[in-house]
Structure 1
Amino acid sequence: MLFYLFAALATISGAYMVLTRNLLYAAFALLLTLLSIAGIFVMLFADFVAVVQLMVYVGGVLVLILFGIMLSTRVKDKSVMSQNVNKSWGSMVAGVVLVGLCYTILQTDYATLPWIEAASTDVLGEQKSTVQAIGVKLMTDVVLPFEIASLLLLIALMGSAYIATDKQTKL
């Protein structure tokens, strides 16, 4: 029952986010959508992904979007509004995708899926959290690619800071 509540909340707030013209309201609808998806991840016992969802998307990206909207210049002290274009094409594509997804869901025979047949009632077994297994995997098997990715992100940050500085000043 809780899954359907989170799914309905994510769907409704996602639709509101796409259909509203006010960018600030769209950002708050995105917040509600991301929180609902994090709730779904918690229900799927993917606690690490839920925490990453909250920290990266809700804590970082969404706050950056909100600051960008709120600190942007306003035209004659009016709210920042977006222009909705191609409503008819967008509605038709969304309708076709919805019909296709509903057809696929209704035609699937869930009893013959191999992972459902092999599943037991004890979902997690001995393991109580996925965070420890992911942490051990990150710090043992994939530590070199992890560090290379962090070095590339640091170089990209330095490059963007250099591009954003005034061209007359030398570093």
Structure 2
Amino acid sequence: MTSLDIAFLATGAITVAAALLAVTTRHLVHSALWLVLALGGLAGCYLVLGAELVALVQVLVYVGAVVVLVIFAMMLTRAPIGPSPDHSTSRLHRLLAAVLGAGVTALLLAVLLPLGGEVVARTPVSTTGIAEDIFGTWVWPFEALSLLLLIALIGAFAVSRLTRPAGEVRR
């Protein structure tokens, strides 16, 4: 086992742990911060694999844009900071979600584990090739995502500015 393998396992373990904490915590802001760590850990995995451009795009687009947008949307819409009884589910729903998640994981492992034994000849991928794919072939979906994020931010700002009638109490 090489030092790159150990570094990949360490960043992968941190990423998985942060992702699990992001979906299991009951605090919305804590969940967004765990998501930052999970996406940053994924960028670390890309760095260990030698895909520096993909790691940079991961940090810029997801950590720098998506998570910041989520945090701004929470602040602008005055989302509850702590645990909210309005957003909690019953134990049965959580159990069913865990069973469904375990089933999907088992199916993915059943498909992907047999592929791990095959030796695939690797061709070196250059940063130029990845950049041409991202900003050539995939430029329109990339731009559509940025437009969608802008529309979501404007929508969150508009929702935060709505006025309520005088007698209405916010839950």
TM-score between both structures, scaled by the size of structure 2: 0.65
Q: Structure 2 vs 1, CA of residues 137 and 153 (structure 1 numbering), >3 Å: closer, same or farther?
A: closer
Report if aligned partners of 2:26, 2:82 keep a CA contact under 8 Å in 1. no
Aligned length: 148
Match of 2:102 in 1: 95
**Aligned-partner residue type, residue 24 of structure 2:** L
Instruction: Give matches, 1:115-130, under 5 Å.
Output: 116=120, 118-119=121-122, 127=126, 130=127
Q: CA deviation at 1:101?
A: 3.6
Q: Structure 2 vs 1, CA of residues 18 and 157 (structure 1 numbering), >3 Å: closer, same or farther?
A: closer
Match of 2:82 in 1: 79
Query: Which has the greater radius of gyration?
Result: 1
Instruction: Give matches, 1:145-156, under 5 Å.
Output: 146=139, 150=143
Indicate yes or no: 2:12 matched with 1:7. yes
**Separation in 2, partners of 1:148, 1:50:** 19
The gaps in structure 2 that reach 5 residues or longer are 1-5, 159-171
Match of 1:56 in 2: 61
The gaps in structure 1 that reach 5 residues or longer are 165-171
**Separation in 1, partners of 2:141, 2:112:** 41
Report if aligned partners of 2:43, 2:59 keep a CA contact under 8 Å in 1. yes
**Separation in 2, partners of 1:110, 1:87:** 35
Q: CA deviation at 1:107?
A: 4.0
**Aligned-partner residue type, residue 100 of structure 2:** V
Larger RCO (CA under 8 A, 6+ residues apart): 2
Q: How far does the alpha carbon of each residue in 1:43-89 deviate from its partner, in whole angstroms, 9 at most, with x for none?
A: 222222111110011011111212222344366xx636442351011
